[in-house]
Amino acid sequence: MNDLIKKIFKCVEMGKINLTSPYPPDMKDQDGADELTRQALDNGIHPSDILDSAMIPAMEVVGNKFSRNEIFVPQMLMSAKAMSAAMEHIKPFFKSGEAKRKGVFIIGTVEGDLHDIGKNLVAMMIEGAGWEVIDLGVDVKTEQFISTINEYPGSLIGLSALITTTMENMKKTVNEVKSKYPETRVLIGGAPVTDDFRKKIGASFYSPDPQGAVNYLNSGLQV
């Protein structure tokens, strides 16, 4: 494996964003994902190779470590930020068609709920897995989800809720999305959400952690 690819992998895995970032302390004063990705492109490495051999597998390692409680939210956020720094250099190649995304994932916290940390984590992990993420933010009305599905046909939906009362709005959104677009896969998550609730409201998938959602999307949606 190319040395730059290995270094980008390590920066994303360890959350080393750029040269000036003090985290992690043992990588202080070293180039981060930002500089190394620029260098890799300048050295003629194909953007798809950077994505497929460094960024995506590194984020998968991060997601699995998080699922096993080996790292926690702050480290995951740093990795996601390092991934975003690298992604900024790759984005122009999506437009030109030299790099491809796996699909479009629309995510938002349901109507009435303003909590976004869990939703952001899932969005970042899914973006890091090679998907285009449309983040609608918090307090998202069903109509906003539906109009965004219109805009991105074939997209998948992720709904987040943190309190039990807004879970009811999740039910409403799932019902309306499914009635208009029966084929659309709807993933749900959030602290009070369970797989039993997922079955009850007819959503497609529930995961207690971000990597579960990534694995579901990457599985070809067989679950």
Work out whether 24 is an interface residue with another protein (CB under 8 A): yes
Contact 24, 14 (CB under 8 A): yes
d(CA 74, CA 69): 12
- In the list 155, 160, 169, 211, the residue contacting another protein (rule: CB under 8 A) is 169
Helix locations, 16-141, DSSP H: 33-42, 47-50, 56-67, 73-96, 117-128
Piece of the chain touching another protein by CB under 8 A; list 2-10, 94-102, 147-155, 161-169: 161-169
What would the x/- binding string for another protein be over residues 55 to 84, using CB under 8 A? --------------x-xxxxx-xx-xx--x
Contact 104, 132 (CB under 8 A): yes
User: Which H/E stretch holds residue 133?
Assistant: strand 132-135
- In the list 49, 116, 132, 176, the residue contacting another protein (rule: CB under 8 A) is 116
Work out whether 147 is an interface residue with another protein (CB under 8 A): no
Number of Cα atoms under 13 Å in the Cβ half of residue 31: 15
Piece of the chain touching another protein by CB under 8 A; list 41-49, 57-65, 92-100, 191-199: 191-199
Identify which of residues 4 and 17 has a Cβ nearer to another protein in the complex. Answer: 17
What three-state secondary structure class fits 187? strand
Residues forming contacts to another protein in the complex (CB under 8 A) are 22-25, 69, 71-75, 77-78, 80-81, 84, 112-117, 120-121, 124, 163-166, 168-169, 191-192, 194
